[in-house]
Structure 1
Amino acid sequence: MKKTTVSLSLTFALSGLLTVPAMAAELTVNVEVPKLNVAEYHRPYVAIWLEGADQKVAANLSVWYQQKSTSEGHGTKWLPDLRQWWRKSGRTLKVPVDGVTSPTRPAGQHALKFTDKQPQLAQLPPGEYTLVVEAAREVGGRELVKVPFTWPATSAQTASAKGSSELGAVNVNVKP
């Protein structure tokens, strides 16, 4: 009888270890789309991606574009206006991409959160990376902001950069 009690206690103790939540490395990106005082305002198309030290695309994180068809056609027609992203990655993608593409967003702060369990970061090897945010707007301008960081982080990291016209502050937070 004691033998059974000991093995049950050991089983319960070990099962408690299995329920401890696994911590995942996390990448949080905050992008500000500024409110512009212009006669004809259009929401910007925005591409957010990671580049490795070789400046090649390591992961596409998010692409915001007009997804609803209009009299001018479908919004994919204007994706090449995101010139850097289009040349490096966009033209090879078949959009929409599940978990990556979404509608354009209004002026304001926009937060995106990724973990090392999600497809965009799951296969990302350790190293130095640059978060790249590119925005292009009809009857507007084009802007590119870059923020370097290390993945995965051994301690919490915060980095930021600021655009001057089409983008505001871009912040990157990395947690181990």
Structure 2
Amino acid sequence: MKRSLTLLTFAGAAVASSATAADLAVTVEVPRLTVAEYHKPYVAIWVEAPDASAAATLAVWYDADSKEDHGTKWLKDMRQWWRKAGRSMSFPADGISGATRAPGPQKAVFSGAKGPLSKLAPGQYTLVVEAAREVGGHEAVRVPFIWGKPGKPATAKGTAELGAVTVAVK
């Protein structure tokens, strides 16, 4: 009897934790720029804790296929992310690294049940999207959100290297 009660308690805890797991839906608008020499931007997407420390790196879009791994050389151009989290990471990072993206809306959903978000406690955070482009500019957009509490999407807009950034907890 004691063993079956323990199994029921364990099963109940597993169901409760998966029921509270949320997903983070993110849309990043990569604007189409009319410039003489266009390069797709490198982009880092991460979550900052209330003290502005990096809580989780969600994605890094860069030239992962460059010869002799030259693509990682330019990751430090995303200065804010690099100082807070990037320089301590190894690349390619499983589940985080990806190719640069073309202009237009780029959608990604990050699971709270596994990966970097699985360790976040419920509360107030900020999603940061930072972009740097060769022969171009640099920009970071911050969008506050409440983790663990589904609600209306939050949006912020960049002025040059990034368009609208939307975050929704689902």
CA deviation after TM superposition for structure 1 residue 24, in Å: 3.9
Q: Are residues 1:162 and 2:157 paired? A: yes
Q: Deviations over 1:8-54 (max 9, x none)?
A: xxxxxxxxxx9xx9574121000000000000000000000000001
CA deviation after TM superposition for structure 1 residue 115, in Å: 2.2
Q: Is the 8 A contact 2:21 2:148 kept in 1?
A: no
CA deviation after TM superposition for structure 1 residue 158, in Å: 1.1
Q: Is the 8 A contact 1:46 1:63 kept in 2?
A: yes
Name the SS for the 1:157 alignment partner.
coil
Q: Is the 8 A contact 1:141 1:166 kept in 2?
A: yes
Name the SS for the 1:138 alignment partner.
coil
Write out aligned runs for 1:1-176 (5 A): 22=19, 24-70=21-67, 74-153=70-149, 155-175=150-170
Name the SS for the 1:78 alignment partner.
helix
Runs of at least 5 residues in structure 2 that lack an aligned partner in the other structure = 1-14
Q: Aligned residues: percent identity? A: 56
Amino acid corresponding to residue 79 of structure 2 in structure 1: R
Q: Is the 8 A contact 1:149 1:157 kept in 2?
A: no
Q: 1: distance between equivalents of 2:161 and 2:139?
A: 6
Name the SS for the 1:31 alignment partner.
strand
Q: 1: distance between equivalents of 2:167 and 2:66?
A: 33
Q: 2: distance between equivalents of 1:86 and 1:23?
A: 31
Q: Deviations over 1:90-144 (max 9, x none)?
A: 0000111110011111111111102221211111111110000000000000000
Amino acid corresponding to residue 128 of structure 2 in structure 1: V
Q: 1: distance between equivalents of 2:124 and 2:20?
A: 22
CA deviation after TM superposition for structure 1 residue 151, in Å: 0.8
Number of residue pairs matched by the alignment: 154
Q: What's the TM-score once normalised by structure 1's chain length?
A: 0.83
Q: 2: distance between equivalents of 1:88 and 1:24?
A: 26
Q: 2: distance between equivalents of 1:64 and 1:147?
A: 19
Q: What's the TM-score once normalised by structure 2's chain length?
A: 0.86
Amino acid corresponding to residue 127 of structure 1 in structure 2: G
Amino acid corresponding to residue 157 of structure 2 in structure 1: K
Amino acid corresponding to residue 102 of structure 2 in structure 1: P
Q: 1: distance between equivalents of 2:161 and 2:28?
A: 11
The structure richer in helix per residue is 2
Bigger-Rg structure (1/2): 1
